[in-house]
Structure 1
């Protein structure tokens, strides 16, 4: 008798495409409304529809779901794709604030939510491409 692989992807664990869709919608709703996210919202086009669809495909695949992102756009090359946008500590923190709230709202499994957030925090930190100016009020904690 063959061993059956009983591993469940994070995508399946959190509820699949429906949860990823809700997560991305909640993320961008926060980006639209939180004052702390004003700077990262300004980096996006007025119509968030297309970027929402891209993030849904990316996160779905990243979490172990169907390879929709790669089939459409190839290798993610996330850092390269974001080099045209200034991403420092403030932008990383604003992005993570929106994502933390969206995860809290949409992912019921607390352990999965924490695991996803930890991995996204590492990814967001790696995406930084700007040195924060120590004289910039945004860069210094108060």
Structure 2
């Protein structure tokens, strides 16, 4: 247990501020609804069912934003670029990913400052995964 110095309050994480696990589950579920109908992005998911990919992204985002560390406990270090390397991630895939994620973020109806912080990260993350020119 972490001791909190007298006279201070623990800082709420982004995860807590936006509603915790339920918010991230809603975000990722909405995102994968878009992916399911997108022929280009769907090809990047070799599993027949998108459920395992949905769960991995949910757990990753929960951990990244200050929630439980379930992702790392189950899968180890995220190593996102390495895990995406087998797939062609070009500008078109980047744009499609962000299009579906934008829809998912908008559906959350977050406070503007939270929406911007989340979106800035997602834009950065999408750009980091590009591994093919074009």
Q: Under a length normalisation based on structure 2, what TM-score does the superposition of the two structures give? A: 0.90
Q: Please state whether the residue corresponding to 2:6 is helix, strand or coil.
A: coil
| Partner of residue 121, structure 2 | 119
Q: Which runs of 5+ in 2 are unaligned?
A: none
**Aligned position for 1:27:** 31
Instruction: Give the TM-score normalised by structure 1.
Output: 0.85
- 1:10 maps to 14
Whether 2:41 is the aligned partner of 1:40: answer yes
* Count of residues in Structure 1 that have an aligned counterpart in Structure 2: 129
Q: Which residue of 1 aligns with 2:51?
A: 49
Which of residues 81, 88, 94 is equivalent to 2:96? 94
CA contact (8 A) 1:19 1:107 kept: no
Structure 1: 4+ residue segments shifted above 3 A: none
Superposed CA offset, 1:33-78 (max 9, x none): 3xxx321111112200111111111010011111010011110000
Measured in 2, the distance between the counterparts of 1:119 and 1:20 equals 14
Please tell me the root mean square deviation across aligned C-alpha atoms, in Å: 1.4
CA contact (8 A) 2:80 2:129 kept: yes
- The Cα of 1:123 is off from its aligned counterpart by 1.2
